[in-house]
Amino acid sequence: MRYSGWQVLKQGLTGNKGWQPAWRDPDPKPQYDVLIIGGGGHGLATAFYLAKEHGITNVAVLERGYLGGGNVGRNTTIVRANYGLPGNSEFYSHSLKLWEGMEQELNYNVMHSQRGIINLFHSDGQRDAYARRGNTMINQGDDAILLDNAGCRRLLPYLDYDQTRFPIYGGLYHKRGGTARHDAVAWGYARGADMRGVDLIQQCEVTGIDIENGRVTGVQTSRGPIRAKKVAMAAAGRSGQVAAMAGLRLPVESHILQAFVTEGLKPCIDHVVTYGMGHFYISQSDKGGLVFGGDLDFYASYAARGNLPTAEHVIEAGMTLMPMIGKARLLRSWGGIMDMSSDGSPIIDKAPVEGLYVNAGWCYGGFKAVPGSGFSYAHLIATDRHHAPAARFRLDRFNTGLVMDEEAKGSQHNLH
């Protein structure tokens, strides 16, 4: 069924009896051309683009829990293309363009809101770094505006500009950045893939990857064995365990990233604001809740919940930046399992096993990458060649030295 305003009107006038489930709930077939392990944003987008761009529809997405139940349903929903490093810059630029056409492409309302992102800076040196970053973004064909203090005050009158520790000098304004309704992105890709013939199989845990003579032949699952010519991992924080089934170790350590949301408030924060010096960023959801977060807890964890020191740190930073949020009551907090690569950049590559593909290491930036990752990963799976914007996300770059260290911190696990 095609969604439209007319459809809403028609169904509303006929008792809403005509709505169909958005996708089928099929049993697994014994064999597919491509199996995707993981029914999150990246896995579903990959299935969608395999079908749409490459005509490969004999595909199943295997999901241990329910579709979109991992990080795509548990993030702070930010979409942006403000990277500086060659390899990242063109990838996120491509991804943002896909975001801009996503609702039409999927016929699905993902509530993509280009409300703008402002990265604050607090010193002359940081201003220079952001000016350079902005020029890199413009050279890539994206948008950036360097705001001075007065420019920031016009857009963000509620910040504490004169705090003594990190007085606000200005900000880098990326107008095309913003937010989206995270679950809807997963659902939209799921529906689009299903419509094109992809089987979305939930409650189906992969328990083994079958390899014969160095070539993948299928997987073992909680719903029986499934054979396939190609198997593609897209398991985010659980990538380490999936890779282990194929006898691989990844340059990835899973960490917690916490996020927080307050009770619903009247509109007060119009943009996404980041405060890098204090490790804090914030936006306001369409429902009114202030959605914010900070840095990792900084120890390996699969607990899917964080600890108090980081929560305190994030909230202290928020209070320093915008004292007005002090009276908002915190509704909930949660922790996601982040697949932190040692250089802070992702991996989209062939595994050393023939027919096996790796999509991992998204760190805390996987959400904005959903369309770009799906598009580039589908290209790799379909053609066995790297898609140009993602060509540097190699699995072997850590060994060859061609690491992609966006933050220039070094390629070591405890640094990103």
Partner 1 sequence: MRIKCPLCGDRDSREYTYMGHETYLDRPGDEGWSADWDDYLHLRDNPAGVTRDLWYHGAGCTSWLLVERDTVTHDILRVELARDAKRGRG
CB of 71 to partner 1, least distance (A): 15
Residues in the chain: 416
Query: Which residue, 200 or 351, is less far from partner 1 as judged by CB?
Result: 351
SS3 163: coil
- Residue 102: CB atoms within 10 A of its CB come to 22
5: amino acid identity, one letter: G
SS3 45: helix
Annotate 345-384 with b (16+ C-beta within 10 A) or e (fewer).
bbbbbbbebebbbbbbbbbbbbbbbbbbbbbbbbbbbbee
Q: Among 11, 217, 333, 414, indicate the residue that binds partner 1 (CB under 8 A).
A: 414
Query: Which residue, 192 or 251, is less far from partner 1 as judged by CB?
Result: 251
Stretch in the footprint of partner 1 (CB under 8 A) among 97-105, 113-121, 170-178, 394-402: 394-402
Residue 301 makes contact with partner 1 by CB under 8 A: yes
CB of 399 to partner 1, least distance (A): 4
Q: Among 31, 307, 320, 333, indicate the residue that binds partner 1 (CB under 8 A).
A: 307
Query: Which residue, 139 or 222, is less far from partner 1 as judged by CB?
Result: 222
Q: Among 375, 398, 404, 416, indicate the residue that binds partner 1 (CB under 8 A).
A: 398
Phi/psi region, residue 390 (left: phi>0; alpha: psi -120 to 50; beta: rest), is alpha
Site size toward partner 1 (CB under 8 A) is: 26
Q: How far is CA 73 from the centre of its chain?
A: 10
Query: Which residue, 75 or 301, is less far from partner 1 as judged by CB?
Result: 301
What's the start-to-end Cα distance of the chain, in Å? 44
Q: Among 42, 52, 238, 394, indicate the residue that binds partner 1 (CB under 8 A).
A: 238
- Tokens representing 371? 């369309």
CB of 313 to partner 1, least distance (A): 10
User: Which residues contribute to the site for partner 1 (CB under 8 A)?
Assistant: 238, 240-241, 244, 249-254, 298-303, 307, 309, 342, 398-399, 401, 411-414
